[in-house]
Amino acid sequence: MEVKRKGMLLVISGPSGAGKGTLAKRLLEDDPSFRFSVSATTRGPRVGEEDGVDYHFISDDEFQARVDTGDFLECAVVHGHRYGTPRAEVLSSLERGENMLLDIDPQGARSVAAAMPDCVTVFILPPSYEELRVRLHTRNTENETEINRRLGNAKGEIDQLGRYQYAIVNTTVEEAIVQLKAIVAAEKQRTIRFFPVIPEKS
Ligand code: 5GP
């Protein structure tokens, strides 16, 4: 008997500075069954970000053209910029049995959960609002205006926590990654992911 597996769609969200990016990177490094869904965005690249790796950095016009052709599984305006998840990449990976990791905001997570109810949703919380402020300043990737915009949006994002299946408080990356891997390990074993192929008797 052959046992086929369907890929898992893992959606992580959380306010900017909660540490989603770091946790996502760790999971991708440690678990080769996962692929990262590279979103398209109209925001400009930060220092160190690579086109096609971190995001597909595209213009407003190109983004709109891709919306019009139905290229995105979901898209949303986040912190004043447009972000979208490419549909074809996600669906083809899942069909091949690969697990897909999406780092998207709560609006996007809601759309994905409606379209693909078997997805796994995890919300990453900072240990405190103050710590979020400190992390956003320390990582030094946004200017003061952008930091304040992100802190201002954090409360609204955290209000969406109840829509997620799991929550992780990211006090330290080492603790949080253990918890994320535990969620992933259990979710991999759900019966919905298995397709036993039983040969017909000759
Ligand atoms: P950043 O600009 O810091 O990379 O991301 C800002 C926010 O946009 C984060 O909350 C991130 O999860 C979210 N985001 C990134 N890609 C997508 C996407 O494709 N769709 C949606 N809805 N949100 C996204």
For residues 69 and 18, the answer to whether their CB atoms sit within 8 Å is no
For residues 57 and 83, the answer to whether their CB atoms sit within 8 Å is no
Segment 41-62 mean pLDDT: 96
Cβ of 111 below 6 Å from ligand 1: no
Q: Tell me, what's the pLDDT at 202?
A: 61
What is the rounded CA–CA span in Å between residue 27 and residue 33?
A: 10
Segment 69-91 mean pLDDT: 97
The percent helix, strand, coil of the chain (3-state, each to 5) is: 45, 25, 30
What is the rounded CA–CA span in Å between residue 73 and residue 90?
A: 8
Cβ of 72 below 6 Å from ligand 1: no
pLDDT tens digits for 100-122?
A: 999 999 999 999 999 999 999 99
Band of pLDDT at residue 23, cut at 50, 70 and 90: very high
Counting from 1 in the atom list of ligand 1, the atom nearest the Cα of 72 is 19
93 has a pLDDT exceeding 80: yes
Q: Tell me, what's the pLDDT at 200?
A: 85
pLDDT tens digits for 142-164?
A: 899 999 999 999 999 999 999 99
Q: Tell me, what's the pLDDT at 32?
A: 96
In DSSP terms, 120 is beta-bridged to: 10
For residues 184 and 166, the answer to whether their CB atoms sit within 8 Å is no
What is the rounded CA–CA span in Å between residue 64 and residue 183?
A: 36
Q: Tell me, what's the pLDDT at 42?
A: 98
Cβ of 149 below 6 Å from ligand 1: no
Helices marked H in the chain — which ranges? 20-30, 60-68, 87-95, 106-115, 129-139, 144-158, 173-188
Atom 10 in ligand 1: which residue has the minimum CA distance? 105
Q: Domains (ranges, CATH) in the chain?
A: 2-191 (3.40.50.300)
What is the rounded CA–CA span in Å between residue 84 and residue 77?
A: 9
Atom 24 in ligand 1: which residue has the minimum CA distance? 104
Phi, psi of 175 (to 5 degrees): -70, -45
Cβ of 76 below 6 Å from ligand 1: yes
What is the rounded CA–CA span in Å between residue 100 and residue 17?
A: 22
For residues 83 and 41, the answer to whether their CB atoms sit within 8 Å is yes
